[in-house]
A and B are shown apart, each in its own frame.
Chain A
C-alpha cells in the first residue's frame, strides 16, 4: 500500500456527522456562472493569522492575490505539489483561463480557504461554514469548486 492508501483506509473508518437533507440546486449555465474556490489547503494572505491547531476558521483570498501562505498543520499529505504550483489545490489560473475562454461566466471576487484535518466539525457546521457561505453568496457566487486537502 502507498502512504495515501494507508491514510485513506484509516480515514474511512472515522465517523461522519449526520446531516439532515441533501442540498441540491440547479445553478445557472456554467458559461454565465461566477465560480469561487473553497479549499481546505490552509491558505491565507501574507499578514493573515496562520491557521492554528484544529483551527475551524476561514480566510478570504482575493482573486488575483499572489502573495499567499500555506499554514496547514497536518503532517499527512504531500506539500511539495502546492509549493511548486498553487493550482494543484487552488486552481485560480485555470479558472481565469476558463473565464477568458467563456467556459465559465467569471471568477469570484474572493475565494475561501479553510484548513483540512479537522476532528470536531460543529464550529464549521454552525458558525464559520455559514459565515463563509454568506460571503460567497453576497458577492454573487453561483458555483463553488471545493478542493479538499
Chain B
C-alpha cells in the first residue's frame, strides 16, 4: 500500500503495483522476480530513507473467472456442491504434492459444505455445525477449490481469476453466497458473514 508506506518511517521501500498476494509480481517467472529483487536491493545504496516505485504494473483479473474443467458429477444422489468437491479431490492432491501446500483440512471442507447448506436452507448458523468458525470454514473451502484449480487450469492464472471461478462458477461458491446472505439476514456477527467470501465477490442485499 503506497499510501501506508508513505506515512510510515520505513527506511527503504520499493512500491510495486502488483496484485495483492503476489509481491514479486509473476509466479513461475524467475527473470521477472529477479528484476524486482535487483530493484529492491539497489535501494541499499541510498544514503537516506527512500520510497521508490517499480516501473511495471500488473493488474488483477477479478472479472475474468478462470476457465477450469470441472469433474463430471457421477453420483446424482449427492448434493451438487459435495459431489463437485469430491470430484476435485484428485486434482487437489496433485496440486498439494507439486506446490506450496495450503493449510486445508479436507474433512473440514465437506463438513463446511454440509453446514453452509443447512444455513442456506434456514438452519440458524449457530446450530448448523459449521466446523471451527465460519471464516475458517469458508477459507478451507475456497483454498481447497483454488488449489485444485491450479492443477486443472494448465497455465498460471491471472491474479483473482481463481477466486472468481470459485465464487461465480462453482456450486460450492453459490452455496457459500447463500449461506452468507442468510447469516447477514439473521444478524450474525459482522466478521462471520462478511469474511465468508472476498469483498470483491460479495453480492449481498
Point out residues on A near B: beta carbons under 8 Å: 2-8, 11-12, 14, 16, 19, 21-25, 27, 30, 43-44, 46, 50, 53, 67-71, 73, 75-89, 91, 93-95, 97-98, 103-104, 143, 145, 147-149
For the A-B complex with A70-B101, A73-B139 known, give 8 more contacts whose Cβ atoms are closer than 8 Å: A4-B20, A67-B101, A76-B198, A77-B21, A79-B142, A88-B21, A88-B22, A97-B34
The bracket for how many chain B residues form the interface is: 35 or more
Contact of B22 among A30, A89, A104 (CB under 8 A): A89
Closest residue on chain A to residue B191 by CB atoms: A53
Q: Does B135 contact A (CB under 8 A)?
A: yes
8 Å CB contacts to A: which residues of B152-202? Answer: 156-157, 159-163, 195-200
Residues of B within 8 A of A97 (CB): 30, 34
A-B contact number at CB 8 A = 191
Q: Are A22 and B9 in contact (CB under 8 A)?
A: yes
Residues of B within 8 A of A78 (CB): 19-22, 60, 159-160, 162-163
Q: Is the CB of A6 within 8 A of B200?
A: yes
Does A86 lie within 8 Å of B100, measured CB to CB?
yes
Contact A149 B28 (CB under 8 A): no
Q: Is the CB of B4 within 8 A of A11?
A: yes
